[in-house]
Amino acid sequence: MQEKTDPNVYVLCDYGATGEGRTVMTMVTRASPRQDDYVNKSYIDENGRWQFDKTTKNTPEERALNEFKEHFGDYYAMGAEVLDRVEFFDRAGKFVPEVLYKLTDPEGNDNPPGFHWTGSFHYNYS
């Protein structure tokens, strides 16, 4: 049996500053290309067939970091890391709901298409 590849990209930013506390920002996304991510525009050829070049300008990891930046802002995106699934849940597992682990299992049947999840957790003891 061929092993399934994980279609998701996992992003984590663990930000801490004296007096500001700690904020953990997490994101799991498919990082699907948007229309402006494609190198060439799609078009209908002279025979009326749809032509679609799937070549993109950037990688899924770069698209995920752009999504992270849009959601959390430029400042926090500077510290964002793209991780594999194992390291993401090892480092951020206590900050995300348990169901996220099951939904992102590449071997499972619950992995929804177009999946996008974000979460943040902030605490300050001062």
pTM, two decimals, is 0.81
Each residue of 41-99: pLDDT tens digit? 777 778 877 776 778 888 899 999 999 999 999 888 889 999 999 999 999 999 999 98
9-18, 27-36, 49-58, 115-124: least confident range: 49-58
Which class for 11: exposed (0-12), middle (13-18), buried (19 or more C-beta within 10 A)? buried
Q: What mean pLDDT is reported for the chain?
A: 86
d(CA 79, CA 56): 25
Q: What residues does 23 pair with on adjacent strands? A: 15, 122
Confidence of residue 120 (pLDDT cuts 50, 70, 90): very high
Residue 14: which of 27, 1, 4, 5 has the closest Cα? 27
3-state SS track over 80-126: CEEECHHHHHHHHHHHCCHHHHHHCCCCCCCCCCCCEEEEEEEECCC
